[in-house]
Amino acid sequence: MTDPRTGSAWILGDKFEKKYPHLESIDALWNLKWKYPCSRSLYPFHDGKYEDFEPIFETLIKKGIHDGYSVEYTKEFLPTCEDLVKQADKLKDDGKKQEAIEMYLRACAVYRIARFPYINSDVKKEAYEAQKKAYIQAASLFDCPIEDVAIPHTAGTKKDEGNEIPLYVRIPKDATESKQCPAVILMCGLDGHRPDNTVRSDEFLARGWASVIVDIPGTADCPADRRDPASPDRLWTSILDWMEQEGVFNMGKIMCWGLSAGGHNAIRAAHTHSKRLAGAVGQGAGTHHFFSRAWLEKAKDHEYPWTALPALTEKFGYKSEDEFMDNAQKDFSLIESKIVNQPSCRLLLINGTHDGLMPIEDSMLMTEYGSPKECRFFTGLLHMGYPPANFSVYPWMEQVMATAS
């Protein structure tokens, strides 16, 4: 129960050694972890309806299907998804725009849980493709639509990197080359992808900011080489270069916000692209201790809905879980790479102190290197510092945008 760097106890305390009870069965997952947020449309069920999920989980419990990585798990969700899309299509055809949007987003919420925790099979890939299609149907009906854009990966230099970067882009209607808008590059997470961020893009839009939403290396459609720790640097260079060429973005007011696994990317970008970013938010980020075997062997039994090790092993491109745990810190730590010794743009570190997936120590550690950092930690709260974290993020971002030039 000790931090290998200091020899002192992890801030997580006794919880570090425990296997969290929701991991025991699909029944436990539903009733102890997901039923409450689902009934209130909280993360990760936003836009979903309890009545869509309850019968699916009752069936999963009855059949004893617990493994979220399995094809059998995903298939139980698909009939509900497809029915919701059909209902949305009819509402759209009938001219009921708002009702159609809501129904498409309900379908997307179910598709999201269907493809949890990682897109590791053809069935999950098909679920993600269907989710994206339903989402763009909804987003095209927004008063200010979200566009599905593929831009050239001009900075991609390795043969195993793709040529295009898929983005979801939302630009305020009044933005022009003569009236450029600030923008936020939203870096998604391990299981949260481009279609899962309507609320954030709404918040940005309400402030007059554009959204550029991107999947991170090793997830979904991202073309970057998952095994190369430097591939995110090339990814952000391509995106920032494209934004500059578009002419509609105010390049003096560009921020990035990384969510969970994306937080690692945001913190890295704050240093590697410090002159091109006005600010960055690393929320729920793993930076150093997270990548150690000492942490991962216990964290796999903490708050993630299933063990996160298979997803993390694939995300970072290792052949086995042991190879991941033995090598990830050496390969991906921002301390080992000395990335955080470089100057950074303004950087907000935010999380719950009892995050069982990404240790709060990783955010605290960032304050010991390079440029001064800004922090907001929530005592006793879990991964990401939900629910109050966003109430600190948005005012901070507003202040950064107001002072940037």
Asked if 153 is an active-site residue, the reply is no
Candidate list 225, 233, 355, 362, residue with the active-site label = 355
Torsion of CA 203, 109, 40, 206, to 10 degrees: 10
Of 352, 338, 344, nearest to 400 (Cα)?
Answer: 344
Of 39, 36, 67, nearest to 305 (Cα)?
Answer: 67
Query: In whole angstroms, what is the distance from residue 263 CA to residue 261 CA?
Result: 5
Asked if 193 is an active-site residue, the reply is no
Candidate list 238, 260, 274, 292, residue with the active-site label = 260
Candidate list 231, 362, 383, 392, residue with the active-site label = 383
Its sign, for the CA torsion 260, 265, 270, 275, is negative
Asked if 355 is an active-site residue, the reply is yes
Give the catalytic positions in this structure.
260, 355, 383
